[in-house]
Structure 1
């Protein structure tokens, strides 16, 4: 498996067509045990100048889905089933880092815990994502 496949277990898509690219999400580590990605606050703010909660949710679903995909049977796609986010503190600038760690990986579902922190290491968001693994190969 190439390094790019290890960082992104999903089928290739045209450049700029994925939400991750539009939000500036960059995966920096990916394994079945842990997925880590960063995202800039700039370009992802709500009207009060803070990181948008939806951007946090998108980051959480991106890293959580990758963790689920890395734990799924080869060729079987995973899709989000439920996402829950608690936003603990606002972030005005810099970048945030998300760490996704599986808490359950089964044949048909995976549940992933995601923590998002600011550049000072303070937790800004905690999320939980449950994904379903589809029976039909991709």
Structure 2
């Protein structure tokens, strides 16, 4: 991995402090050199299961949104003066899971000045797909004082 992407991954992982991402033990593990896809991992714990013992769909979506929004953040030009907000996310859960490690690969499909469209695939250690997600993020410039 290039030194630039290592630094960006370190920055992403440092931004998780005191957030839902930190509570869910999400860790960013790979960023492509072109910054067009990002991979993260998350352990499945009892805290993110639904009452029947399977991974909660909402936890899966929160994981996908975290990775997709982070990829958008890495793709904005003025990170100090612009913010990323998710405005739409959809998920198709295709397989259930009870334990293990989840991975999410976010890929940017449209990178406009104000909108990004991201596809996120959530999968397990055996590379079995758990969920497909698509999200749209809006980029908002901070108002200057």
Q: Flag as ranges the 4+ runs of structure 1 deviating above 6 A.
A: none
Q: How many residues align?
A: 135
Match of 1:52 in 2: 56
1:135 aligns with 2:136: no
1:94-113 equivalences under 5 Å are 94-113=100-119
Deviations 1:74-129 (A, max 9, x none): 22111111011111110111011000000100000000000000111110000011
- Checking the alignment, whether the CA contact within 8 Å between 1:111 and 1:129 is kept in structure 2 is yes
Secondary structure at 2:141 match in 1? coil
Deviation at 1:49, TM superposition (A): 0.7
Deviation at 1:132, TM superposition (A): 0.3
Match of 2:24 in 1: 23
Between 1:54-63 and 1:72-81, the stretch displaced more is 72-81
1:1-138 equivalences under 5 Å are 3-4=6-7, 6-7=8-9, 8-9=11-12, 12=15, 15=17, 17-31=18-32, 32-42=35-45, 43-75=47-79, 76-136=82-142
- Checking the alignment, whether the CA contact within 8 Å between 1:77 and 1:137 is kept in structure 2 is no
Deviation at 1:10, TM superposition (A): 9.0
Deviation at 1:11, TM superposition (A): 8.4
- List gaps (5 residues or longer) in structure 2: none
- List gaps (5 residues or longer) in structure 1: none
